[in-house]
Amino acid sequence: MASASSGTLPIRRALLAVDDKRELPEFARALAAHGAELWATTGTRAALAEAGLTSRPVEELTGIADWFGGRVKTLHPGVLGGVLAPAGPAGEEELARRGLLSFDLVVVNFYPFEERAASHPGDPELVEAIDIGGVTLARAAAKNHARVAAVSDRSEYPALAAELQREGGKLTAETRKALAHRTFLRVHAYDRRIAQELAGPASSTGFPAHLELHRETVRMRYGENPHQSAERYEIGGEGGTALEPLPLRVLKGASLSYTNLLDLDTALSIVAEFPTPTAAVVKHATPVGVASGLTAAEAVRRALATDPVARYGCVVALNRPFEEETVPELHGVFVDLLAAPSVHPAALAGVERRSKLKVVEAAPPRIDRPRWEGRTAMGRLLLQEYDTRQLRPDELKPVTSRRASPEDACALDFAWRVVRHARSNAVVLANGSATVGIGSGQPSRVKAVEMALEVAGSRSQGAVLASDAFFPFADGIEAAGKGGVKAILQPGGSVRDPEVIAAAERLGIAMYFTGWRVFRH
């Protein structure tokens, strides 16, 4: 048995008990090649046998088969004793006295609770997807990393196999400590997701960050909008622990900056709103042009055309692959960063000479999964749910005698999906499935309307308008009418709604209320 200070640990006996058996046979083969004796639970042992690998059953150590439909199979001193026995003579003596075998490596992964909860939230049968034995084994091995290597993620297999080859069947103390660290992070994330599910959909305890956070005793009423829950935290401890890698890959250019990430997050969140090929052009974390098209190239061309001035030094995101035919659409435009779910080698070669352009592969986030965002204020971290609420057709309340045509109704929906990502006060003008003017970050709503109209110019004639919050006065409606806007979508709820509606009626503008706002400060 290796001591805590012995450095490298020979892997002579390994316990394998996994739910996800992908890539396990290859790793087990590497273990066996270096003389490790393999022990496995029933299902894992069957997968190894199918791959031509021999293993011994844990029942030899426990004297029991799977109890209660598999709920109890490794929760036994015959297994846990061999994992938790301390390093040194005293541990070896007690193992021998009790007739137990020690394990140098434990490979586990957990029942896929997160995936099942995502697809069947609230299902009472989800409790059967809560892993107990695997989590217990993982914690035990990670605690005892002085003499046991804990592997809780199949992504670790290739690097560990390489180290076994390099170190002659051994793993270093540094590797075992790193594995223990990642195992406890995995256990933490797993248990937090279970707690979130059990708390129910109204809970906001699911903030998925590995930080030492202390919830304030004063609860926040809601997030940026009333339908977004939020919490206020104080960061404690000295530093945080490692987070998962960012879900992107830099293919060209320098590493991404703080503002790059903010702009990229906004751009990807926008294109995630649309099922058709869509491009978003973003500056200072607010959209300056968004468009859909039959192809990604058409979407990029139309999005960039919204504001030829504001697009300088922009971020462009696509919800389709970046391919060679899109490259010409970037000609003459200074783009700082371009992102797409995938990048064709010919497209990458086509922008190779653009020395300042960064190109990354990054997929838009799934809008059906919970997301969180945070800012700081008064020395506190403010957290809220990301706004993913979708506008339903039955939420549009017509408040004028004129109605939008089906085409204009689609354009209103498009504009609403964009305005929720613009900085308040925000107004978006759209013609079909492309923006023609965006006014954002203004202290008054009429200024946002005027800015959008200025950007649009003559393109405002016949356009539609979406506003992220209500019009407090009729002046914004008057300005829109002068610009030729024919339909407006806004939350409503102002004490002056009758005046606002009357102005739209007089100008022949079709106007609809949603009943809820989409502020983004």
Catalytic residues: 143, 284
DSSP states along 258-321? HHHHHHHHHHHHHHTT-SS-EEEEEETTEEEEEEE-SSHHHHHHHHHTS-TTTTTTEEEEESS-
Dihedral angle sign, alpha carbons of residues 98, 75, 208, 105: positive
> Which residue reads 């339909």 in tokens?
487
Q: On the CB side of 329, how many CA atoms lie within 13 Å of its CA?
A: 22
Report helix angle 133-143 to 173-199, nearest 10: 140
What the block records as the tokens of 71 is 């709920």
At residue 105, the 3 state secondary structure works out as strand
Q: Which residues contact 187 (CB under 8 A, 6 or more apart)?
A: 135, 138, 139, 142, 152
Beta bridge mates, 315 = 282, 337
Do 450 and 429 contact (CB within 8 A), yes or no?
no
Q: Do the Cβ atoms of 36 and 55 come closer than 8 Å?
A: no
Q: What is the DSSP string of 323-349?
A: -GGGGGGGTT--EEEEEES-B-HHHHH
Q: Which residues contact 105 (CB under 8 A, 6 or more apart)?
A: 11, 13, 14, 15, 31, 36, 141, 148, 149, 151, 171
Residues in the chain, overall count: 521
The H or E element spanning position 117 is helix 113-119
Whether residue 320 contacts residue 340, with contact meaning beta carbons closer than 8 Å, is answered with yes
Instruction: Determine contact, residues 493/471, Cβ cutoff 8 Å.
Output: no
* Integer Cα distance of 294 and 279 in angstroms: 11
Q: How far is Cα 149 from Cα 162, in angstroms, rounded to an integer?
A: 15
Measured N-to-C along each axis, helices 42-50 and 24-33 cross at an angle, to the nearest 10 degrees, of 80
Q: Hey, what long-range contacts does 91-95 have (CB within 8 A, 24 or more apart)? A: 91/1, 92/1, 95/1
Q: DSSP states of 397-439 as a string?
A: EE-SSS---HHHHHHHHHHHHHHTTSPSS-EEEEETTEEEEEE
Which residues in 413-440 are b (16+ Cβ under 10 Å) and which e?
A: bbbbbbbbbbbbbbbbbbbebbbbbbbb
End-to-end CA distance of the chain: give it in Å, rounded.
Answer: 59
